[in-house]
């Protein structure tokens, strides 16, 4: 069983009346006890992904589960 499972995750922001895709159709599975590093250039969506996992911001599409449950649980 995967500890963190992300399926078809998408998030966009609106900047100057224009939609800016930040995360588009992301699939990720992290097993229990597995080490994962999220890295990339500035503005690629690293913090947005972590904020979605923490339920600080909503996502538009996709599914996020932690230990088989919604992050809220």
Position 11 confidence tier, pLDDT thresholds 50, 70, 90: very high
Report pTM: 0.86
Mean local confidence (pLDDT), 41-68: 93
Position 1 confidence tier, pLDDT thresholds 50, 70, 90: low
pLDDT for 2 beyond 80? no
User: What's the rounded Cα separation, in Å, for the pair 15 and 60?
Assistant: 16
User: What's the rounded Cα separation, in Å, for the pair 68 and 56?
Assistant: 19
36 in Cβ contact with 30 (< 8 Å): yes
């Amino acid at each position: 069983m995967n500890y963190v499972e992300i399926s078809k995750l998408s998030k966009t922001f609106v900047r100057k009346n224009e939609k800016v895709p930040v995360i588009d159709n992301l699939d990720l599975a992290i097993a229990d006890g597995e080490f994962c590093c999220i890295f990339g250039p500035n503005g690629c969506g690293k913090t947005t992904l972590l904020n979605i996992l923490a339920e600080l911001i909503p996502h538009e599409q996709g599914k996020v589960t932690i230990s088989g449950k919604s992050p809220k649980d």
